[in-house]
Amino acid sequence: MSNDHDTPQITKTFHQEKFPWQGIFGYILSLVLTAFSLWFGLAHAAQYGVILYVIMGLAIMQIFVQMFMFMHVTETDEGFPWQSLGLVSGLVFVAAIVIMSIWIMTFGAGVS
């Protein structure tokens, strides 16, 4: 015998568009960011340090385009947004790997 009062009723409503405008816009934006970073790097349009920072800035913008346009970071069911927790833990792991790699490359040369 089942009790209908204890079972939560989850109703999901999805807004279905006829044409995926967000996906098309994200794709074009990612192509533009990639093409601009390729041109900026190959054309030697500035000094080495400036090129490096511009390409890193474009890469960060590319990450946000991918997360919000294609990976649907903002979409969640009611409750805690678990994908945000996964994103934060992934960023912690990436930061740890990058920091440890820089530390090893900096101080590892004097050991051998």
Confidence of residue 78 (pLDDT cuts 50, 70, 90): low
Q: Residue 85: is its pLDDT beyond 60?
A: yes
Per-residue DSSP letters for 10-67? --------SS-HHHHHHHHHHHHHHHHHHHHHHTT-S-HHHHHHHHHHHHHHHHHHII
Mean pLDDT of the chain: 81
**pLDDT number for residue 104:** 87
CA distances (Å), origin 98, targets 30, 46, 50, 74, 103: 24, 26, 21, 27, 9
Average pLDDT value for residue range 28-41: 94
Lowest mean pLDDT among 12-26, 34-48, 60-74: 12-26
Lowest mean pLDDT among 9-13, 42-46, 96-100: 9-13
By the 8 A CB rule, do 62 and 33 touch?
yes
